[in-house]
Amino acid sequence: ECLDNFKGDHEFTYASKNDNETKSLKKREEDKWWLPTPKVPPDGLSDATRRWLQFQKDSVHQVLKAALAINAQILMEMHVPDSYTETLPKNGRASLGDYIYKSITVDHFDPDQFLSAMDLTTDHKIVDLKNRIEASVVIWKRKMSAKDSRSGWGSGVSLEKREQFEDRAETILLILKQRYPGIPQTTLEITKIENNRDVGHAVLESYSRILESLAHKVLSRIEDVQHADALTQNPSSRSLKLNSLNDSLKIDASDFATWTKLRFLLWALNDWQHVSCGGGAEVSKGGTTSQYQELK
C-alpha cells in the first residue's frame, strides 16, 4: 500500500545519469553510487508533501519494527543445531575475547557505552560482534541448563551474576538488531534456518525477513528525498548528512530495564504459546501464527 502511494506525479523526481544539475549534489550515502539521485524543486518541497513523506516514513517504520519482532521471535524458537554447538569453544570468554568479555562483566554496565567502544563501521564488523556474542550466549545457556559448575565465568561467580551477564549479552543483540536491520544474518541464524524442519517457522521467518528488507529499503529511499529537500533549505549544510536510518531506529539503550522487560516478554510469550497449544511441533506453528496475526 505504501509503495502504491508513490505512484503518479509528485513534487520530487529522480535525476538521470547525465543530469549536470544534480552531479554536484552531495549524496546522503556516498557508497550507494548506483541509486538514483532525488530531485526536488529549487525552493524545496511544500509543507503538505513534507508531512505526507513523514507519514509514509512513520508507517513503514511500524512495518519494519513488526517484521523485526516477528523474525526475532521465530529465530528464538528455532532449535540450536548440534552442528553449530560442536564448533563452539569451551567457554564464553574464548568466544568473546578478553576485551569484550570484560566490557560485559563490569559492575556498572551501560549498553550505550559498550556499543560506542565497539568498532561498528562496517556490516562485517557488526556481524562478527553478533557472532561472538551469540556463540557465548549459547555456551552459557548450555552450561547453566546442565548445571555445570565448571563454568567459563569462574567459580567465584554466582548463578544470579551469570544470568545477569547473559541478559546483558542478549540485550546487546536486541539493540544491534534494531539499529542495523539491513545487515547479513549471523552464523547461528543461518544454521538454524538451514536445519529447521518446521514449515510454519520457515514460512514466517522468510516472509518477515523479506518484509524487513523491503521496509528498510523504502525507508532509506524516503530519507534520500528528505535529505535532498533539506539541502534546498540550508545549502551550507551540504557536507552534513540527514539523520541516517540507523539513527531513526535508535532506541535509548541507557534504559536497560526496558530492554530487559522486552526480553522477558518474548520469553513469556514463547512459554505461553507452548502451554496453551499443548507442546510439540504444532505449537510453534499455531502460536507463532497467532502472534503474527495480532501484529498485523
Q: For position 237, what pLDDT does the model report?
A: 54
CATH topology of domain 79-195: Methane Monooxygenase Hydroxylase; Chain G, domain 1 (1.20.58)
Alpha carbons within 13 angstroms on the beta-carbon side of residue 68 total 20
Q: Sorting pLDDT into bands at 50, 70 and 90, what band is 19?
A: low
Across the chain, what does the average pLDDT equal? Answer: 77
Write out the three cell numbers for 267: 520469553
Residue 131, phi-psi category: left (phi > 0), alpha (psi -120 to 50), beta (remainder): alpha
Q: Which residues pair with 38 in a beta bridge?
A: 14
pTM across the whole model: 0.69
Q: 234: phi > 0 → left, psi -120 to 50 → alpha, else beta; which?
A: beta
pLDDT band at 290; cut points 50, 70, 90:
very low
* pLDDT score of 2: 74
At residue 140, the pLDDT reads 85
The phi and psi torsions of 41 (rounded to 5 degrees) equal -55, 155
pLDDT, residue 132, reads: 96
**Percent of the residues in the chain that have a pLDDT greater than 70, as a whole number:** 68
Q: Tell the burial category of 164 from Cβ atoms under 10 Å away from its Cβ (0-12, 13-18, 19+).
A: middle
Distance CA 95, CA 273 (A): 32
Q: How confident is the model at residue 178 (pLDDT cuts 50, 70, 90)?
A: confident
pLDDT digits (tens, 9 = 90+) for 26-55: 555 555 667 788 888 988 899 999 999 999
Lowest mean pLDDT among 114-118, 180-184, 209-213: 180-184
Kindly tell me if the per-residue pLDDT of 292 is higher than 90: no
Domain assignments of the chain as residue spans, ordered by start: 38-71+197-296, 79-195
264 or 135: which carries more pLDDT confidence?
135
Spell out the residues 6+ positions from residue 2 whose beta carbon is closer than 8 angstroms to its own.
56, 59, 60, 63, 218
- Three-state DSSP at 261 gives helix
Neighbours of 49 (CB within 10 A): 17
Q: For position 201, what pLDDT does the model report?
A: 94
pLDDT recorded at residue 135 = 95
